Amino acid sequence: MFRALVVQAELTARITIDSAGTHDYQLGQRPDPRAIEAARRRGYTLGTHVARQVESADFCRFDWILALDLQNLQALQSLEPRSYRGRLALFLDFAPHLGIREVPDPYYGTAEDFERVLDLVQRGATALLDAVRAELATRAP
């Protein structure tokens, strides 16, 4: 969803986006079919994305590394090199108006749980783009 917003904002030349997990299960697998279907109904395609694990090089490649929940944030903090000068945070901290800090994992839930996650991610992605735009405005193009 964030990628679609970045494309729409014509910022793909300035923003690099990737996704990775903190654990090694599901490596190389596609997203859950329920997530693919829920995203498709909203006009998003999850493309050819396959799961990968966060690696140390990510702390060199990305200025911002965001977690969806506190457990994953803690895992990222344990991997964070002392030299990292980027931003390590919770995704929904960019949308405090939502009154929730963590995106719940819908895996063991219902189709409605996947819809709830998409609602949160859509709102969080919009707020994140606003924050990224503000930071980009302080940098030279």
Per the structure, the complete domain to which residue 39 belongs is given by: 2-137
Q: What is the reported pTM? A: 0.91
Q: Report yes or no: 79 and 73 within 8 Å, Cβ to Cβ.
A: no
CA angle (51, 124, 80) in 5-degree steps:
55
At residue 28, φ and ψ (nearest 5 deg) are 80, -5
Residue labelled with tokens 């949160």 = 120
DSSP 23: S
Q: Where are the alpha helices (DSSP H) in the chain?
A: 2-8, 33-41, 58-61, 70-79, 111-137
pLDDT score of 43:
92
What's the pLDDT tens digit per position in 13-29? 999 999 999 998 889 88
Q: Where are the alpha helices (DSSP H) in 55-141?
A: 58-61, 70-79, 111-137
Token pair recorded at residue 42: 């909203």
pLDDT of residue 141: 63
Question: What pLDDT does 131 receive?
Answer: 97
CA pair distance 86, 98, nearest whole angstrom? 24
Per residue in 90-102, pLDDT tens? 999 999 999 999 9
For position 15, which CATH number holds? 3.40.50.2300
Low-confidence stretches of the chain (pLDDT beneath 70): 140-141
Total of domains in the chain: 1
